[in-house]
Structure 1
Amino acid sequence: MIGKVLGKRYEIIEKIGGGGMAIVYKAKCALLNRFVAIKVLRPEFINDKDLLDKFRKESQAAASLSHPNIVNVYDVGEEDDIYYIVMEYVNGKTLKEVIKEKGKLNKDEILDFTRQIALALKHAHANHVVHRDIKPHNILITEDHRAKVTDFGIALAATSSTITNTGSIIGSVHYFSPEQARGGYTDEKSDLYSLGIVMYEMATGRLPFEGDAPITIALKHIQENPELPSQYNPSISKDLEIIIMKLLQKEQINRYANAAALIEDLYKVKNNFELGDMDNTLRMEDSPTQIIPMVTANEIKELTENRRKDSNSPTNKNNREDGKKRKILIGSAIGAALLAALVFTFAFFYISDFLKTEDVVVPNFVGMTMDEATKEAATIGLKLNVTRKPDDAPKDEVIKQTTSPNMKVRKGFEVKIVVSEGSELAVVPDLEYKDEADVPSILKKNGLVAGDVKREPSDLPIGTVINQNPRAGFKAERGSTVNYVVSEGPATAMVVMPDLRGKTLEEAKAEITKNKLQVGTTDPKYSDVYAAGLVISQNIDPNVETPEGSVVNLVVSQGPENPGSNEGETEENNNGNTPVTKQITINLSTYSGIVNVEVYEVTALSNVKIYGKEYNLDNLRPEEKIIKVPVTGLGSEQYTVYINGENKGNL
């Protein structure tokens, strides 16, 4: 891949990382002249259609996020079976590397990094994006200690430390939540649990759950409570420990309601404010209700055989002898206890018939009207927690639900749904100076779509938006179009072509260069009108507007073809059919400084310049101030001499 160019603009420079799903390269964007990171899907995954579809869909969703603590996604592309994502290049280390270097982070570092990660999650969750794979490896720390979360929406790592559910990868085993371990419904609070694991690791330098196999670690997430961080780091503050343990609650309802609530408590701890009483939230039961893997028939059989073997061992025989003696002493107590147990058992089964709650299947509320959803929920015994928000869907239509359809829950369970308030006016974003490639995602985020795109010359870089309609801040119907103009680079300047005829070749070249034109060919040609060395003609007519950089070709006089044939010939014996060369003598002895001399041939239609030159008389000897200009013509010819633009009469 090194040296390969993707999308006609991203040149791969070097490999900088990789994981189970993709390899990450550093690349140079030729269009914007900046470094980017490119994540390329490993070749073994390119034939997995489901994974490719998810890769495209979730990468585009991640590209819609824009936050200082999130690694920006610039582009998604496909070329010659290479699937890639173009991201912001961050020069720094992963949080995992920082933890390995330091072992344990101090309180201020933990609070600062956690706050930045929580701000990123708050922004993502507000845009309905759940990360599902928060871990120190996916958090980059810049040289100025800014945390940036990466891999949003593409948590598809295919390593031995992942758990799959019906073929869908749902997270990294050391960091994912109990609901991910069960293959259940994941939401924003699943990300908060993973952030709690990251905080635990920052505070202690170790993970709360370890095991020989991924399934062992997954079961610990479901069944076991982590040791308090203070057991491994006695210096950790009580309030910080409370926050970590609240994030690591097994049940989603016992964690923080959202990232904003977490940020508020982090602020309190940072500023030494009281968090308040969290004992009720954090109290652990001696025998908590847990979801555990189903025990198979073979496992029951194996367990029974092991117990039978244990009962026949010598140790157990001695224990039975001792037990006979103890039975005599506690016989009366057993009788009383048996009677009480019979009464309790009868009461328990009798009352439980009244307390038993049956399971129901959650329907798919999405697409129903609010009235339909309310009736359906009442029919099967569910409660609805309704949130309303503007959306393109019809008013009062359910557009989202937090509990997955077909999931079994207890009667009376509360299902959160989001109901459309209908379309509303969208505010047109400011597109000027934005890159053309970013405009569609910016408009989509604001409920608008790209309209007509025009291109005009501009001093701004190619591909930069220079104008838009409607203007920024204008309120438009959601789904309406926004037209914009894109720079195609600086416009070509025009110059007026100078008249080069009659000038010496050196003068003509200087004039061409001065006007930001290019000197082309200089073809020689005999001329009976122009003296040798003077320009006869030019390929671009004088006084015509010409683009800067145009090439100007010249024809330069060689003088008459047979100048010697006229030597000694007098006017008396010249019959007017043979060209004659004579000299016009111009005396400049009365002038000083810079003097411009021009000679024009007077014709019936116009005057033609045949000679033009500037003289610095201060540098000439007296005899050199007598200028002789050779002219060639037939019969009688008339010439006009100009000195410094002043007509000195006809000759």
Structure 2
Amino acid sequence: MNSTFDPLVGQVLDDRYEIVAKVARGGMATVYRARDLRLARVVAVKVMRSDLGEDDEFAAKFDREARSAAVLSHPNVVSIFDQGSSHGQPYIVMEFIEGLTLRRVISSEAPLAPARALELFEQIAAALAAAHEAGVVHRDIKPENVILTDRGQVKVADFGLARQVGSPQMTATGVLVGTASYLPPELVTHARPDGRSDVYSAGVVLFEMLTGKKPHTGENNYQIAYRHVNVDIEKPSERLRELGKGNERPIPDYLDTLVLAATRRDPRARIADGQELLAAVRKVRGEMARNSSGDNPELAASLLPDSPSEGLTERLRPATRPRPVSGPTPETVIVSRSEWGVADASAQTPIPPPEPVAPRTATSQSPTSQRTPVFPPLHISHDPVHQRRRGVIAVLLVVLLTIGAGFGSWWWMSGRYTTVPAVAGMNETKAREAASANALRVETRDEYSETVPVGVVIDTDPRSGERLVRDSQFTLIMSLGPERYPAPQLVGLTREEAEQAITDGHLSLGEVTEDWSEDQPAGTVLSASEEEGAQLKPDTAIDLTVSKGREPIRIPDLTDATTAAATEELKGLGFEVTVKEENSTTVAKGDVIRQDPADGTAYRGDTVTIVSSLGPVMVTIPGVWGKGTDDARKLLEDLDLKVEIRNDSGFGLPLNLAKSTDPAEGTQVAVGSTVTLIIV
């Protein structure tokens, strides 16, 4: 994290802790790497955010973290060294750990091999055992709070939610405390946390190490928390089979059972605390060392705590059958409601037994007419027994009619309906089981999702909770995972071809810029902002750089420049340079007489010829003493020298003989130079 503009960097807290750099920032504090000036060691300093310093609840929570962790002294727990306050900001000084979080390990390595996962998890369990023995519950066990040092040692950190058992809650009722993906069910329902809460969170961490996935997911924290309360965590081996990795990391049955024993939803049926968890982990590691691949059902069974009996519904007793009536005295028979489909053995309904049937006796016939009646005559007995029987039958008929009418009304109004189950976050197999349990059939439809993993239900159509007629069909919307398309090969295509490839690939054309290219013709794509094959979201914009062809370069006029400077400048522009030499009486030696081309433009790699001056041609003045004037003049003029005559005779009569030259004999002069011939 960049700490350039952090105001605390460079400061010294309480004349002792020099803040060196920012390491991380959390919801209520920032962690810095600091130097303890008194003990000359590197420490980590956790400073509460300045905007929370006035909040007594946060200050108390911050103070509780220091006090809770300070009572622990264990190699797998980050040590607390000091506590203080500087300029109204409380801070905690703790051990500085060089390493990486378990989250980084899971992200890069998961699913971990069972032996590797247990090696790390045993140290987490050891830290919890020490904390629970000291009466401290962490309450926020998650991979981000577990650090793996450079030496391979595990350290449990961040007791920001920790509290000692029996201390008051620091949050208002109804607030979820902790990280939803690792939250024990009892904390969602507002029970007080204890060692079993940490065991549950640790079991979730072990599940994630073994599978690379969290056991419960959802669109928000409350959906995840709901699943922790209502849905059992599956075996890690089952999740690996769903992910198609069951053969890569085979998980023995006793390791599956360890995860289930730590993550039972009922805390009374869960491993009780860190000490029991550590003992169970060591049993599992010992068995795995002896037999790394085989199952051990006996060990697996021993890892499960005994199921609790408190609060559980008793098994229903078989219903008592009505006894046959042996005499005329009525007897009440008790029949349990289970015979009527009511799952409550404590509620019982008295049902009167059948009335005894009296023997049928002959009665006197009433007079009949000579015409045969349409209906046979009714013989209604007025015997009290018969009257009582008729009353019972009438009541039963009324009851049956009422029940029938009520059942029909219930069936028509609501009984024939069922509800769409809440299956978001489940895999298809479990979603189909839930649909079958609700008397519904399903079909599937695939959609892309940025948040829901592949093969998991995103939503349903109709939505969960809506009523449908039984045996109706609803749609599971299954996740295809994030919608991604590979970036096409674009470099080397023409601009038109590249635009078509981008459109066909469900992507979009971004900014197009042009640049010179020495080897690609104009209109050819030189580069793209996304590498070929990169997985991109739909309509991702891809920027292109397109060739303008070869870059024309202006040729500078370098006449009269030195040959060396001209050559360097032309080569710097990308030209090839050819140098020729000539004598010149007007251009100094080493300077450029002329160039070809003299001006205009050319391309990199083209040749520019420059003519370098060798200076004038030099000749040596010959000796002329004693020669006649004409002969001496001719000798000098034959060397392309100009001759001037000067008479230096001391005699009255000139002799017309050469005496000397100026410059003197043997001197090197340029062709065309003027030489004075002295005669006597």
Q: Under a length normalisation based on structure 1, what TM-score does the superposition of the two structures give?
A: 0.43
TM-score (norm 2): 0.41
Q: Which has the larger radius of gyration?
A: 2
